[in-house]
Chains A and B, each alone.
Chain A
Amino acid sequence: MPEYYTPALAYIAAALLVPFVPKGFLRGLYLLLVPVAGVLIFWGLTPGTYNAFNLMGMQIGLMRVDALSQIFGLAFSLAAMLAALYAWHLRDTVQQVATLLYAGSAIGAVFAADLITLFVFWEGTAIASVFLIWARRTEGSFAAGMRYLVIQIGSGVILIAGIVLYYREMGTISFTAMELGSPATWTILAAIGIKCAFPFLHNWMHDAYPSATVTGTVILSIFTTKLAVYALLRGFPGTELLIYIGVAMALFPIAFALLENDLRRVLTYSLNSQLGFMVVGAGIGTPLAINGAAAHAVASIFYQGLLFMAVGAILFRTGTARATALGGLYRTMPLTMIFCLVGAASISALPFTSGFVSKSLILSAAGYDKMFYVWLALLAASTGAILHTGLRLPYLAFFGSDGSLRPKEAPGGMLLAMALTAALCILIGVFPGALYALLPNDVKYEPYTFSHTIVQLQLVAFVALAFAWAVGRGLLPKAERSTILDFDWTYRRLLPSIIRGLRRLAGAVWDRASRNINSRLDNLVAAVFQLHGPQGPIARTWPTGAMVMMVALLLGMTLVLTYL
């Protein structure tokens, strides 16, 4: 195998050739086959690092094959394929090229054995993905894309700073588990935290994802955040701080998801909350918890992707994803509704769906380690997920107040992609053994115990009853056309107004200081003029007699001084 081979290469090469493939069926097929080519590069390889070489004294490893990289690589590849199918109708070359480069970068990063390769692909995901936002070609999406790009590139810059510090400290750039404690590791964790949407570093996601195109949002939801989860599992497993960060992540987006009117933004908050579960899993760090985080990342790629696809299909046909304009779509989009309900059931962790078999691992890991409050918080976050995405989202879109929209069902490519993704969500739920066999640690776990199945059914059923009762009495917060302020307010409104204030203050100080200096300079010039000007004593013309008198005086004084 050539020395510079990585699955990313298949995507990058394919992206360069996209413009030369005729648009339509051939290009659609071509885009579907690229992920297959990517998988063939790492499929069947025995664990180990391939294509390693020396670069300026640093050991670069382009392809590390082990269980963790393989499961993420496979999930990303399959998701890229489903996304290509979903975007079958698309004729925009820019988006198609950006998608391939984005997916390729994410997969390349997952297989990176060293931090430099990780950094290169880390930035690759940032640069490629912004075009999926800009492809919407509106003023709002351009601004959102710029904010997204600044933050994502910022994450990369922080990462490379951390890598430099790490290399100085450890003398290696190998990407393995790190001990949090030095400035280097804190810096690297901060970079990963931005991409993982840690609390207060999360706003780029809720700002940018709903600003993308119909298909762009689906594709964006797959890669960036899961790549960050992978990086946490690889770099910081068992870091206790992550447990608390993860709990906060799982809980805080719930209220926003319950208030949001834009259904694509509801899903980004919901995704943010699900990421919290994975971060907790990485933080607990036991073999079961790591398996749980990896399994939940894979399951979430598909069920969250399915939900984004369903809302995307609604937007595609109706022109809006605002809950206030929707409702009653079950009449004309029954298939999209069914697929959306499968995604909703999965995120609610209903037994026999993927969410049940993956979320259980993380909750069990917290349970086995007797982390009562962590377990309770995650249970509350699970309840929130049932409420805001499992029930509220499908209710607002497909049932609820009839928005009188009677759109046509989604096109064939979208329906097929949703059907396959929904089938995957159910298959993983019914046959969890297939997913568990791919997990990084060899741990026996049985999700379908009688107790576990019944209690989860109880949770979903009672929450559904509470929801139905609350909706009937109008007790839930109403969806309204509005903007819910989040932490991005600090850099979109507060910071600019502070800068404006400081600018005004600096201007005022400068004006006052320059007036003061000017007046002093004027006085000085006036004084000099008074002394040296035409009327000044220095410039006065003295008579010759007076000069002789002065010279005689000076000579006389010299004489006196000489004889003294």
Chain B
Amino acid sequence: MTGSSDKTTTNDKALPGAMLLGIDTARGGRIVTWLLVLICILLAAVEFVWPLHGYFEIEDQPVFYGWFGILVCIALAIFARIIGAILKRREDYYGSLSVSAEEHPAFDLAQEKADA
């Protein structure tokens, strides 16, 4: 995973979610990815041992749900980029008649810092 520092501060170690510290680092990202690779291999292997049954012929293709999922992800990522290129505008496009660019009013919030 990108964009995060590999360093954690002493303060972070005192935070409630400290046991997951490092999951958002590049190393954590690699571990998660390889763990997923392992899970995918195991799940793909299952259907070669116990044949699966579906509603349509296409489901009889080896690891259909796996490659279908990946193909759809690629297609969606490309399609979203095209849509973004055409339809993305600046945040205050609709001016004051939209909440997009305005800050949420403070009276509706209770912003507090975590005790660390």
Given A384-B76, A468-B29, residue A317 in contact with residue B84 (CB < 8 A): no
- B residues less than 8 Å from A451 (CB atoms): 52-54
Closest to A381 in B: B72
- What are the interface flags for A438-477 relative to B under an 8 Å C-beta threshold, 1 for contact and 0 otherwise? 0000000000001100111111111111111111101111
A375 CB contact (under 8 Å) in B21, B56, B73: B56
Tell me, yes or no, whether A256 is within 8 Å of chain B by CB: yes
Tell me, yes or no, whether B10 is within 8 Å of chain A by CB: no
Within the complex, the shortest CB–CB distance from A413 to chain B, in Å, comes to 11
B16 CB contact (under 8 Å) in A387, A409, A456: A409
Are B110's CB and A316's CB within 8 A? yes
Within the complex, the shortest CB–CB distance from B64 to chain A, in Å, comes to 8
Within the complex, the shortest CB–CB distance from B108 to chain A, in Å, comes to 5
- B residues less than 8 Å from A493 (CB atoms): 94
- B residues less than 8 Å from A255 (CB atoms): 76, 79-80, 83
Docked complex Cα distance between A493 and B104 (Å):
24
Docked complex Cα distance between A402 and B77 (Å):
23
Given A330-B20, A455-B65, residue A400 in contact with residue B1 (CB < 8 A): yes
Are B36's CB and A464's CB within 8 A? yes
- What are the interface flags for A395-422 relative to B under an 8 Å C-beta threshold, 1 for contact and 0 otherwise? 0000111100011110100000000000
Given A144-B98, A465-B37, A477-B81, residue A375 in contact with residue B55 (CB < 8 A): yes
- A residues less than 8 Å from B55 (CB atoms): 364, 367-368, 370, 375
Tell me, yes or no, whether A136 is within 8 Å of chain B by CB: yes
Given A383-B73, A482-B90, residue A454 in contact with residue B36 (CB < 8 A): no
Are B40's CB and A461's CB within 8 A? yes
- A residues less than 8 Å from B111 (CB atoms): 317-319, 407
Tell me, yes or no, whether A480 is within 8 Å of chain B by CB: yes
Are B16's CB and A332's CB within 8 A? yes
- What are the interface flags for B89-116 relative to A under an 8 Å C-beta threshold, 1 for contact and 0 otherwise? 1111110111111111111111111111
Are A258's CB and B68's CB within 8 A? no
Docked complex Cα distance between A330 and B21 (Å):
8
Are A465's CB and B33's CB within 8 A? yes
Within the complex, the shortest CB–CB distance from A388 to chain B, in Å, comes to 8
Tell me, yes or no, whether A244 is within 8 Å of chain B by CB: no
A402 CB contact (under 8 Å) in B24, B72, B88: B24
Docked complex Cα distance between A459 and B17 (Å):
29
Given A331-B17, A482-B89, residue A468 in contact with residue B33 (CB < 8 A): yes
Docked complex Cα distance between A454 and B24 (Å):
28
Most chain B CB atoms below 10 A, which of A207, A368, A486: A207
Docked complex Cα distance between A252 and B55 (Å):
25
Are B40's CB and A465's CB within 8 A? yes
> For chain A residues 176-223, which have a beta carbon within 8 Å of chain B?
207, 210-211, 213-214
Docked complex Cα distance between A380 and B79 (Å):
13
Are A483's CB and B91's CB within 8 A? yes
Tell me, yes or no, whether A155 is within 8 Å of chain B by CB: no
Are B15's CB and A465's CB within 8 A? no
- B residues less than 8 Å from A411 (CB atoms): 110
Closest to A379 in B: B68
Docked complex Cα distance between A480 and B105 (Å):
22
> For chain A residues 241-293, which have a beta carbon within 8 Å of chain B?
254-256, 258-259, 262
Docked complex Cα distance between A226 and B74 (Å):
31
> For chain B residues 43-88, which have a beta carbon within 8 Å of chain A?
43-44, 46-47, 50, 52-56, 58-59, 63-70, 72-74, 76-77, 79-81, 83-84, 87-88
Are B59's CB and A455's CB within 8 A? yes
Are B2's CB and A471's CB within 8 A? yes
Are B69's CB and A258's CB within 8 A? no
> For chain A residues 136-190, which have a beta carbon within 8 Å of chain B?
136-141, 143-144
- A residues less than 8 Å from B20 (CB atoms): 330-331, 334
- B residues less than 8 Å from A401 (CB atoms): 2-4
Q: Name A residues whose Cβ lies closer than 8 Å to a Cβ of B.
A: 89, 135-141, 143-144, 207, 210-211, 213-214, 254-256, 258-259, 262, 315-321, 327-328, 330-335, 337, 364, 367-368, 370, 372, 375-376, 379-380, 383-384, 386-387, 399-402, 406-409, 411, 450-451, 454-472, 474-477, 480-486, 492-493
10 A-B pairs whose Cβ atoms sit less than 8 Å apart in the complex: A259-B84, A331-B15, A375-B56, A383-B68, A399-B24, A463-B73, A465-B37, A472-B2, A483-B93, A484-B89
